[in-house]
Structure 1
Amino acid sequence: MESLLRQPEWRIIDQSSVGPHFQALQSFGIDDTLCASVGAGQAPATARTWVHHQTIVLGIQDTKLPFLQDGLQFLKNNGWQPIVRNSGGLAVVLDEGVLNISLVLPEADKGIDINRGYDTMWLLIRQMFADFSLEIEAREIIGSYCPGSYDLSIGGKKFAGISQRRLRRGVAVQIYLCVNGSGSTRAELVREFYRLAKREQATKFAYPEIEPEVMASLSELFGMQLSINDVMLRLLTQLKQNSDHLYAGQLNETELELLPGYYQRIVDRNQKFL
């Protein structure tokens, strides 16, 4: 079975250096828009890169924490903006040292199996860092924040998590990559959020018991300082090798028409939960 990374055409939408005014709510609205347009065949397979400053992205389950407001107040008091995303998972940290990559693909007649979507992103990351002689594993890292079966790790330390969003025959496979900075410091922030938002109260849902030492950035794991631009160059190199045509683009006319509606849905969801 040919890799989903191999596409006749890849459009890249780079929003990795827009700046601190670029809100994560906009990002999730954009990815939903891309799912709809790519799924309908109105745009080619698209890779979007994005960076958000001082943002904590919560999952739906996080909004059910018994003392959620206490946790949210802690985040806000420390300069972090909490939002709720529309894909699965739990709380993650986004800051200027974390690169997010979304691969938005059209579902073929038989659809894209969920594991195949995850495997596509795992393959991409392995190819991007193939020059380092360290194995990148995909397995759940107990003690990490937002744990899942496709946590990406090196030597048992998690540096990335993958999620998927499926909408209107489009699939967005999304990853956050901790490129630089301290993985354990980010984990300590999330651990304190859960401590305040859950306390000792029993909950139906099992929230993670976070152990900061199991999380790290790629710079820490590789023993060299990597920048967002370094990783962007590696991404572009791989996309170029996996397509006949790679080009930088923006939202097309159809997408610009769809975006306000999808963005408003995200805003409404956040007003409901937060």
Structure 2
Amino acid sequence: MNQLLNQKSWRFIDQSISLMNRTPLESFAMDDTLCHLVGQGMCEPTIRTWVHDHTVVLGIQDHRLPYVQEGMELLKKRGYDSIVRNSGGLAVVLDAGVLNISLVLSEKDHAISINSGYDAMVDFVKNIFPELAPEIKVYEIVGSYCPGTYDLSIAGRKFAGISQRRIRQGIAVQIYLCIEGSGSERAELIRDFYQVGLKDEKTKFVYPEIQPSVMASISELANKEITVYETVMNLKKYIQTIGDMKLENLQQDEMEYYAFYLNRVLERNKKMLESNK
């Protein structure tokens, strides 16, 4: 077992239904809060599941596209809100078929390298999908949206990407897993966003040339229907094999930290979106 997954107890927060129609900014504030709490030893290592519908989460570089406002208007016409996230990476699609998982760990006593955090999440996902684990590869999928060295794929088709957020000695390793629906249709949306937002202009930053065929959902890759609900159930079963699991949301005294981080995330996103106008 991966050493970082071998914890005495885990806190589990399931927001795979409760946040469906709320802004992902609330999830980013929640992860910042958990980083603070876990990092400072105020609660156990935490695993959180979350789902948000019809939102495209932009990265810092996406926000700098020469025609980003037009790109965001295109997304709006297609029925998607847009926000700018506070961790690394580029644009990703969130919808009811995409499950996000945050693995929140503390490095208060022992430093955790970036790669170690990523490796822990890869092992975690492989244990949720044991029948697919031998086929899951980890390398950058060129032509995917939000490409990175820790892209997860099967047969050259990407179904997940990982990022990290670090605050107050806490680390949130975040993954989006395309579980249901069409991976290529999500990729087409991001391809169109870049085409409108870039208009073939030359920029210092090289934006990905999206090839929809290199992206897929777990259901497509497994050639059978796998649901977000089923995946969350399997995830809970796995957590119970690696440590005691405590199901709970934020306590009253922890809500003060959440209010602080939510305000910070909202203000930051507001300023970035206003700078586009």
Q: Normalization by structure 1: what TM-score?
A: 0.97
The residue number in structure 2 matching 1:185 is: 185
Number of residues of Structure 1 aligned to a counterpart in Structure 2: 273
Q: CA deviation at 1:109?
A: 2.9
Matches within 5 A, 1:102-141: 102-132=102-132, 134-141=134-141
Distance (whole Å) between structure 2 residues aligned to residue 118 and residue 133 of structure 1:
16
The residue number in structure 2 matching 1:199 is: 199
Specify the code of the residue in structure 2 equivalent to 1:255.
E
SS at match of 1:4: helix
Q: CA deviation at 1:134?
A: 4.6
The residue number in structure 2 matching 1:222 is: 222
Aligned structure 1 segments of 4 or more residues deviating by more than 4 angstroms? none
CA RMSD of aligned residues (A): 1.2
The residue number in structure 2 matching 1:248 is: 247
Distance (whole Å) between structure 2 residues aligned to residue 133 and residue 241 of structure 1:
17
Q: CA deviation at 1:269?
A: 1.3
Specify the code of the residue in structure 2 equivalent to 1:224.
K
Q: CA deviation at 1:253?
A: 3.1
The 1:229/1:191 distance shift into structure 2, 3 A limit, reads same
Distance (whole Å) between structure 2 residues aligned to residue 64 and residue 170 of structure 1:
29
Q: CA deviation at 1:133?
A: 6.6
The residue number in structure 1 matching 2:34 is: 34
Unpaired runs of at least 5, structure 2: none
SS at match of 1:101: strand
Distance (whole Å) between structure 1 residues aligned to residue 110 and residue 16 of structure 2:
33
Q: Normalization by structure 2: what TM-score?
A: 0.96
The residue number in structure 2 matching 1:49 is: 49
Distance (whole Å) between structure 1 residues aligned to residue 2 and residue 69 of structure 2:
47
1:147 matched to 2:147? The reply is yes
Percent identity over the alignment?
Answer: 52
Are 1:71 and 1:196, in contact at CA under 8 Å, matched by a contact in 2?
Answer: yes
Q: CA deviation at 1:111?
A: 1.0
Unpaired runs of at least 5, structure 1: none
Are 1:37 and 1:254, in contact at CA under 8 Å, matched by a contact in 2?
Answer: no
Specify the code of the residue in structure 1 equivalent to 2:45.
A
Are 1:160 and 1:175, in contact at CA under 8 Å, matched by a contact in 2?
Answer: yes
Matches within 5 A, 1:152-167: 152-167=152-167
The more displaced of 107-116 and 196-205 is 107-116
